[in-house]
Structure 1
Amino acid sequence: ITGASDVVQSKVLEFYWIFESFTDRLVHDLDKLHIYKDKMKELLNQAEIDVPTVLKVSSKAVMSVMLGVDEPKNVLIGNPNLSKVKGTGCFSRMKPVAEVTAKELAKRRTCGLCGGKEGHNKRTHTNEHASKKPKVQAALKKKASPKQQDSQPRRSGLRSSTPK
């Protein structure tokens, strides 16, 4: 008997001891044992009439009374559409803020002449792209109006050779 007081537990143990000792004495006399059994059934029936039985309360009802909140009738959260099997990894992860900002601030390639980032570099630069650097603008103007000093075109980046 869990949750009962010490007085109740001692009375119940005393009753068990009386019942066992009485049945041990009546084992050899079957007539008196049947009389004792009938008397015990009468006492049990009388106890069922006198003492009302307490209905067992479900644990959900106890928790709702304790918390003061009833369980909703409909479920708001459904089951997932697909379940994961052991060994399948997570295909998306939460990236830390430092990783996201580092990717945004990563250096993009720029044109060496004008500093522009869209669609060209120093080699493929044309005059259509506006220059943002003042020194580069002056260099572009000189390049746009070259003076023909030599009859032979100069190749940039190579040493000029003289005939021997």
Structure 2
Amino acid sequence: MKTQIATVEYPPTSTPSPAFEAALLELNERHAQFVRHYLLCGEGAEAARRAGYSTKSARKEGSRILALPKVRAAIEIARADLAKKAAYDQGAAMAELDQAIAFARETQNATALCRAIELKSKLCGLLIERQDVRQLGGFAININGLGED
């Protein structure tokens, strides 16, 4: 029994760039469909299933295909194209935060100013949130109404 390959265009609402089209032409049809599906779902095994690979081997095949240099290149080209279309990167975020800081100062909103400065610091890598995930043993939690009387 021959497996049916589902075809999909990526991204669905826009025309692919010439660089992306050229990258897809370097792939066989199944790999090109895998790339299109991977860009839509972000999951290697699911993209492999949608591209016509066996459900049993989809995880292995997805991992194998993602390791292929031409496949990785096509995915990176598509992501770069989408990033250009979105036109929102670290510079754009920084510019918006600068505007927010100026507005907070102008309106004398200390809370907004502190928050904008905090976000700008995180964006620059100056402030990193950390969580303590150590587990301490030998303690009990008693909640009223749930414990023994």
TM over 0.5: no
Larger Rg: 1
- Superposition TM-score, scaled by structure 2 size: 0.22
Structure possessing the higher relative contact order (Cα contacts under 8 Å, 6 or more residues apart): 2
- Superposition TM-score, scaled by structure 1 size: 0.21
Decide which structure has greater helix share.
2
